[in-house]
Amino acid sequence: MDEKSVREMAQTLKDAPFVVVFTGAGASAESGVPTFRDALTGLWAKYDAQELATPQAFRANPKLVWDWYQFRRGLVNNARPNAGHIAIAQLQRLHPRVLLVTQNVDDLHEQAGSPRVLHLHGNIAETKCFYDCQGEPTLVDLTELTFDPEDTPPPCPHCGRWLRPNVVWFNERLSYDILEEAFNASDRCNAMLMVGTSGVVHPAARIPMIGLARGIPVFDVNPHGSTLSEQATWLPYPAGEILPRVMEAYAQL
């Protein structure tokens, strides 16, 4: 992307009174966290993530699904924010009004210094009772439990039934309040920056679709393209490469 286009993009973001940043798995790819499109590894290579990330899969094989999340938690725990996360946090510091909405279940935006992150699909580091026996969500601190790592999922300390990761699985509804805030922001913002998402998963994908339908500038940072790249302003670069350049130009405006 030539410097003139980078500067124009930075100016558009600076001139927009309200910016929504919408991220997906690709924003964490350069931190070593595999995206959903990546082939699954090891035991799970023969499964599709969409098949494992469901309550049906958990009921059918709770140990397989729990152990898959423990594996992914390990990847996230070893990951560090990349230059793309850091650039987004910088935008939130320099711009008066940015709402960051993520589909990701890691906390790399928070680690990069983002002051507020709206998580549409939950937080992989959190554990809750599968039945929310004490109210929704019944969060449980795994570090306070003693359980046999081979005998998983561990039992809920309140009701003795399964624990599960505090993420939104396929075929589960998202939090109404979180979704309403994200859609309201999409209806009101003046520019949108989507980073590292294929735009396949709903209802999250409606966020950039609302921006595009309103005719506001929507920048799509994605080296391989998304379902919306043709309608958006597509930047075919890795987030960690292009976003620091945009923020360098932004800081000089």
**Beta-carbon-side half-sphere exposure of residue 186 (alpha carbons within 13 Å):** 24
Is 193 a binder of ligand BV8 (CB under 6 A)? no
Cβ neighbours of 56 (radius 10 Å) = 12
Is 88 a binder of ligand BV8 (CB under 6 A)? no
Is the link from the previous residue into 115 a cis peptide, with omega within 30 of 0?
no
Q: How many residues bind ligand BV8 (CB under 6 A)?
A: 36
| Contacting range for ligand BV8; rule: CB under 6 A; set: 1-9, 141-149, 170-178, 208-216 | 170-178
Is 46 a binder of ligand BV8 (CB under 6 A)? no
Q: Please identify which residue in 1, 133, 159, 201 interacts with ligand BV8, judged by CB under 6 A.
A: 201
| Cα distance between residue 51 and residue 59, in whole Å | 12
Q: Which helix (H) or strand (E) holds 220?
A: strand 218-221
Q: DSSP labels for 6-21?
A: HHHHHHHHHH-SSEEE
| Cα distance between residue 24 and residue 30, in whole Å | 12
Is 238 a binder of ligand BV8 (CB under 6 A)? yes
Task: Give the x/- contact pattern for ligand BV8 in 106-145, rule: CB under 6 A.
Answer: ---------------x------------------------
Q: Which residues bind ligand BV8 (CB under 6 A)?
A: 24-26, 29-30, 35-37, 50, 53, 103, 105, 121, 167-173, 195-198, 200-204, 221-224, 226, 238-239
